[in-house]
Amino acid sequence: MEMLAPIADKMTEDEIIERYDNIIQPFWLETVKTGMFVGLREAEIHYAYVTHPAARGAVAISSGRIESLIKYKEVVYDLYQAGYSVFIHDHRGQGLSSRLTTNPHQGYVDSFKDYVDDFNVFYERVISPNTTIKPMLLCHSMGSAIGALYLLAHPQNFSRVVFCAPMFGIRPALPHWVAKTLIRSHLTLNKMLSSDPWYFWGQGDYQEHDFVTNVLTHSESRYCIFRDEYRENPNVFLGGVTGIWLREAVHAMNAVKRDAHRLKLPVLLLQAGADKVVDNRAQLQVANSLPHCQLVKVENARHEILMESEQYRAPTLKRILSFLAE
């Protein structure tokens, strides 16, 4: 396992905000294109992309749970500045895309296969027509589980993949039989008493947490930017998960762990050393099954590696760009 050491800050927290307001926001408004297509069962899937006039390659982003493309403006900008065309879409049930339950705050999906099918429509209608070079894939958290399933179903469509803090297991990691029993009992009770999906026990509507209590990032500036973007676009608010989402997530993660050996393309797996959201042990299990995997641990970084403070994000971005350029 390669260890990625933190570096001295390249930007102060104030400079991060100034760069976002004065450079990244104008870039997004003036250069990035947005659109929508209708996916499975009439779900509207929103997307954004930017084509580089002298592209050295193309990168598609598969984002994490509760995330939206509006959260990835800085990542899109950085990839574009490195010479890449960039493509991102909001998964069904979150972001700007259609919600699937009466309560728009509920994390829900019928099956993770629906995420994969949407991704393939996005690939065929938006990504493929706008690049002459086979694209690469950059995934974060839940988007890594979706990305891995996509690669298993469509191995010919991407040349290499980066998994950032991948959701191959969820914390707290309960014994398999305990988790299975809790999910089954929850779904049984839900089915008996209601035709609408229920939040899983302990889950609820969207709540904004103060920076001091967050477990996502050490960067107060990037955390505030993310929260400000969401306040300005409250339709992207998403709360906790339903029992059905959790059941399907477990099925998806188990499928990735079972079939990871079939992923033959080059893989960079970035592990956040201080992650309190996903299970790093499950990442190690998958990494050991992948035929061509570079495993890099970002010491002390929290779950949101791509929106971390500069001491963690800068070396991580450098490592990603080096891998993409290989």
CA pair distance 17, 159, nearest whole angstrom: 34
- Residue 278 in 3-state DSSP? strand
Judge whether 62 and 146 are in contact, CB under 8 Å: yes
Residue (of 140, 128, 142) closest to 58 by Cα position: 128
**pTM for this entry:** 0.96
Judge whether 195 and 236 are in contact, CB under 8 Å: no
Domain, as residue range, for 190 = 2-325
Q: DSSP characters for 222-237?
A: HHHHHHHHHHH-GGG-
pLDDT for residue 21: 97
Per the structure, the count of domains in the chain is 1
Direct distance between the N- and C-terminal alpha carbons of the chain, in angstroms, rounded to an integer = 19
Rounded average pLDDT per 10-residue block, the chain, 326 residues: 73 95 98 95 96 97 98 98 98 98 97 98 98 97 98 98 97 78 93 94 93 97 97 96 96 97 98 97 97 97 97 97 96
CATH of the domain at 67: 3.40.50.1820
